[in-house]
Structure 1
């Protein structure tokens, strides 16, 4: 059995199915372009870590779209389950049959970096579970050494996702550690915050996202 795997959990960028909470602020086409930029930048940031990667993709859209974005021969795993929690659990369950440690990350996090993931795997050396929060009360990363379906049996798309998951972990008497906090890009305020961060710190490595965000902000008066 191999030691480590990163599960990159993402939607296939598809009109009307991607970044829908941003559609009233941008438009459907820009939402697809934004998600595409996120995927490119996240993958570029993690592909050279020396850790194997599984792309866990949504059940809508054409897989060819995702293959064209990533542009490399890699393991693609279709998401299966009735809700987000079950889909994440199934991806982790699949991975833990082949790897000792699995860390799952989302795709709405263009600011995620290698350090965020390295810290997560470091935590797993001494803890059962690692979980890394987002500023909106959710989490963008969860990792473990043994699968446990109960951890994913919570209400999603709420501001209490992180806290409810911690409660589940605690009730199961599992040890855990918290990783770095990150910005999850879901709505207009998140987008504007992303623009602000990228303008302040030119060293952040997400060139596709940076270019697109700047183009949007420069060309459209309504985003000012």
Structure 2
């Protein structure tokens, strides 16, 4: 299946010691970076089966010309853009603000995303001003908006279990309707690795402990 809607992906370059740092005690710096790279490749495969390649932008961080970024851009004919300065909220707002029309934004560590779910999330924006996929850790794995507004992302303690709760408060303050088509999980903590290995054997091969 393939639709045609804007989709932004935020991703760090898979540099050992700089990515998936909470997994380093289990996988080692090289192993954590290798898993991050595999998750990003998986995310791009999902994205390219959900929407048109020209609608996908990979927003890069750490090393904007990393070989993996260049390889993915060449393989899928997607656009690369450097993430701007600022906190996560600033960067998400910038990515959403560059879209022509309503669109979605995701990270690179949520294997539960599928092309069908992405399409459902975009369809939800026909009735709601914002769509979120709440994550089990208290954050969210996807955000989509009909019209970007920086206030949605202001004064949020990113990386904490309160992200989703606080974001709901921002949505209420804006008077927006919210749609949450599903609940998801991401790969960020050691306890997520067993689920990844069981549910995604191909990605599980990256879990060699160093």
TM-score by length of 1: 0.84
- Find the aligned partners of 2:8 and 2:164 in 1 and give their Cα distance: 19
How many Å apart are 1:69 and its aligned residue? 4.2
Structure 2 residue corresponding to 1:211, chosen from 188, 205, 210: 205
Does residue 84 of the first structure (1) align with residue 78 of the second (2)?
no
How many Å apart are 1:60 and its aligned residue? 3.6
- Find the aligned partners of 1:184 and 1:131 in 2 and give their Cα distance: 14
Residue deviations 1:14-37 (CA, integer Å, cap 9, x gap): 111110110011111111110111
Does residue 67 of the first structure (1) align with residue 70 of the second (2)?
yes
Q: Is the CA contact 2:40–2:108 (under 8 Å) kept in the aligned structure 1? A: yes
Q: Which residue of 2 aligns with 1:160?
A: 162
Q: Is the CA contact 1:14–1:61 (under 8 Å) kept in the aligned structure 2? A: no
Q: Which residue of 1 aligns with 2:187?
A: 185
Q: Structure 2: state its 5+ residue gaps.
A: none
Does residue 128 of the first structure (1) align with residue 129 of the second (2)?
yes
Mapping for residues 104-119 of structure 1, pairs under 5 Å: 104-119=105-120
Q: Between Structure 1 and Structure 2, how many residues are aligned?
A: 203
- Find the aligned partners of 1:87 and 1:144 in 2 and give their Cα distance: 14
Q: 66-75 vs 120-129, which deviates more?
A: 66-75
Mapping for residues 49-68 of structure 1, pairs under 5 Å: 49-51=50-52, 52-60=55-63, 62-68=65-71
Q: Is the CA contact 2:43–2:108 (under 8 Å) kept in the aligned structure 1? A: yes
| Runs of 4+, deviation exceeding 4 Å | none
The structure whose Rg is larger is 1
- Find the aligned partners of 1:50 and 1:88 in 2 and give their Cα distance: 19
Tell me the SS of whatever aligns to 1:55. strand
Q: Structure 1: state its 5+ residue gaps.
A: 200-206
Residue deviations 1:98-121 (CA, integer Å, cap 9, x gap): x21110011111232112201101
User: In the superposition, relative to structure 1, how do residues 64 and 134 fare at CA in structure 2: closer, same or farther (>3 Å)?
Assistant: same
Mapping for residues 91-102 of structure 1, pairs under 5 Å: 91-95=95-99, 99-102=100-103
Tell me the SS of whatever aligns to 1:23. helix
- Find the aligned partners of 2:205 and 2:27 in 1 and give their Cα distance: 16
Q: Which residue of 2 aligns with 1:203?
A: none
Residue deviations 1:40-64 (CA, integer Å, cap 9, x gap): 1111122033332111111446333
Q: 62-71 vs 108-117, which deviates more?
A: 62-71
